Chains A and B, each alone.
Chain A
Amino acid sequence: MRRSLTATILVYVAVAVFVVSILAPVAWLFIMSISDANDLTTIPLRWIPEQPDFSRYARLFSLEEGSAGLAFLSALRNSVVVALSATAIALAAGIPAAYSFSRFPGRMPLLYAVIVTYMMPPVALILPLYKVFSTLGLLNNVTSLIIVYCTILLPFVTWLMKSGFDSVPVEIEQAASIDGANLFQILTRITLPVAAASTGAAALFALLLAWDEFFYALLYTSDTRAKTLPVAIADFAAGRATDYGLISAVGLLAALPPVLIGFFLQKSLLSGLSAGSVKG
């Protein structure tokens, strides 16, 4: 289809508006993080700092007692530990379950039940879980977060991996089965390697979900021993002596891993999403 010159100009103008609307808020977050407090509080606002100031980033990587750096770095550690452990558990239990749903059909109601739990609002579970963790002495402990995150990650991984396995032809498994391989060998040596792309995607989506979770983390953690990044960021933003630049720097650093993973996931995001099965 050929386009008139006017239409072409309109398309470019609209694309420019789109690009600016996406980039401007994030760019502003970055500018705030390197602006002097005086630049940010002058009226009229100085949009470009007179002297870029990267000292907040340096402060966030210092481990002094009671410093912003300590709060940030321990939250980073907790987030990494929780996200990786919860994802590992979700994969370990979700992959066999997904394989079962895919290769031995006839348990669809159970699969739907799993999906329903994924979508159920967390408020339905917060009180009993809180009570159990407090009885077990697991409040303010990353272990409790790893356990609760299974309520979100495990159904999600099961659901995503089921469609991943569905697209692996059964024939290649049958060949191995004739050669005498048992189910475990077939799953680990044949099916999983063939479904490596969807396994990787499921793992990365699960990591993003855990990294983003806030509600449970807010309820079940109370200090640097267990607080994750989202809770730490909310703390920074709620503090009385607010340094906007520091909050911006923390936010940007916390956003870096998921955004990188996001760009990495672009392809599977497009295909997996069209199947309508991914984080909403």
Chain B
Amino acid sequence: MAPAQQDRTAWLLLTPMIAIMVLVTAFPLLNTLWLAFTDASLTGQGYMWQWIGLENFAYILDDSDFRAAVGHTAYFTVLSVSAEVVLGVLVALLLNQEFKGRTLVRALLILPWALPTIVNAVMWRLIYNPEYGSLNALLTQIGLLDAYRSWLGDPATAMNMVILADIWKNYPLIALIALAGLQTVPKDLYEAAIMDGANAWTRFWRITLPGIIGSLSVAMVLRAIEAFKVFDIFYVMTRGGPADATKTVSFFVYQESFTYLRAGSGAAYALTVTAMSALMISIYVFMLVRREKRS
């Protein structure tokens, strides 16, 4: 095909995708951008609105509730993603050992990954139940706990208990990625290292980790982007409580927009959250561009 015709064919093939994305993504995004500069409310037909310039953003700057929500979200993201990476690598190393039934045991990693997020949240909420939950029962029956506790009702423990539930569901994905990475590390490197007298610890830091760090870091950034958007698990397990201790940024925007029906400031908060996500997303795109250039 001639270059001009090739170009036309290429755009033609892209047209349905571009048309849909413009309608359902680009257009709403621009609309959110406009809303953020108004005092629109979500009640009634159409928006009742007035242009108020940067007022919404000025308000956000010294909104301590929103700052707290950003803090909760950052805490959740950093703690759950780093725990998932460490646990994922450890489990991958374990499942890479020789033992009977290895294929079957490895397949178990699929179970938490495929379990719907909402089902995971409900499951852990039942396990943590203050009166009848199995966690309380287990811990008291083996003598680790004196009296039943309200794990999700106590601001001091609620966030960490949700993080625990999130780790259980999401570290298997990291383990799967690490396991796939481990298969690509050449075996003779280990043999040579053993000949040179390197111990297991050195071998891990010098051979194993460099071998899997590429796919691992991509997965880590993806998980962080995902974790920052978190909503479902908190909606089911804590509804942002107790005393707003687990209110995340998505939950904050949700309430501002759909509970208080403030579309204008809701949009401004949403854009602020999007800008924060964009920082992490650009790291990911940067990684993709670099990989593309290399190949």
Contact = CB atoms under 8 A, between A and B. Distances in A.
Interface of A: 1, 3, 8, 11-12, 14-15, 18-19, 21-23, 25-26, 28-29, 32, 40-41, 43-45, 47, 89, 92-94, 96-97, 99-101, 103-104, 106-108, 110, 112, 114-117, 119-132, 134-135, 147-148, 150-151, 154-155, 158, 183, 208, 211-212, 214-215, 218-219, 229-230, 233-234, 236-237, 244, 247-248, 251-252, 254-255, 258-259, 261-263, 265-266, 269-271, 273-276, 280
Nearest to A32: B126
B271 A273 contact: no
B25 to A, nearest CB: 5
Contact of A117 (B25, B98, B172): B25
A96 B42 contact: no
Given A19-B105, A212-B116, A276-B218, A29 B123 contact: yes
A246 to B, nearest CB: 11
B78 interface: no
Given A124-B270, A151-B25, A266-B107, A214 B99 contact: no
Interface string B161-196: 000000010001100110111001000001000100
Contacts of B109: 22
Interface of A is mostly: helix
Interface stretch (B51-59, B60-68, B150-158, B224-232): B224-232
A96 B13 contact: yes
Contacts of B9: 100, 104, 183
Contacts of B204: none
Interface string B250-281: 10011001100001001101110110011001
Given A233-B116, A280-B223, 15 more contacts: A18-B105, A26-B123, A43-B137, A108-B292, A125-B24, A125-B29, A132-B28, A134-B45, A215-B232, A218-B235, A230-B117, A230-B232, A254-B116, A259-B110, A263-B114
A125 B25 contact: yes
18 contacts: A11-B97, A19-B108, A22-B108, A28-B127, A43-B137, A94-B17, A112-B285, A114-B17, A114-B21, A122-B229, A128-B31, A155-B21, A212-B116, A212-B117, A259-B111, A261-B114, A266-B107, A273-B215
Nearest to B17: A97
Interface of B: 6-7, 9-11, 13-14, 16-18, 20-21, 24-25, 27-29, 31-32, 35, 42, 45-47, 91, 94-95, 97-99, 105, 107-119, 122-127, 129, 131-132, 134, 137, 140-141, 148, 168, 172-173, 176-177, 179-181, 184, 190, 194, 215, 218-219, 222-223, 225-226, 228-229, 231-232, 235-236, 249-250, 253-254, 257-258, 263, 266-267, 269-271, 273-274, 277-278, 281, 284-285, 288-289, 292
A244 B126 contact: yes
B140 A44 contact: yes
**Considering residues B6, B111, B124, which has the most beta carbons from chain A within 10 angstroms of its beta carbon?**
B111
Given A121-B228, A270-B176, A276-B222, A97 B236 contact: no
Nearest to B90: A14
Contact of B114 (A103, A215, A230, A259): A259
Contacts, number: 291
B13 A121 contact: no
A251 B219 contact: no
Contacts of B231: 214-215
Q: What are the nearest 6 A-B pairs in CB distance?
A: A262-B114, A276-B218, A45-B137, A104-B10, A128-B31, A97-B17
Contacts of B45: 134-135
A121 B277 contact: yes
B108 A23 contact: yes
B116 A230 contact: yes
A29 B118 CA distance: 13
A110 B129 CA distance: 48
A45 B140 CA distance: 10
A154 B132 CA distance: 43
Contacts of B114: 208, 255, 258-259, 261-263
A45 B68 CA distance: 38
Contacts of B278: 120
B236 A234 contact: yes
Nearest to B270: A123
Contacts of B277: 119-121
Nearest to B45: A135
Nearest to A276: B218
Nearest to A228: B118
A21 to B, nearest CB: 8
B257 A45 contact: no
A148 B109 CA distance: 30
Contacts of B119: 233, 251-252, 254-255
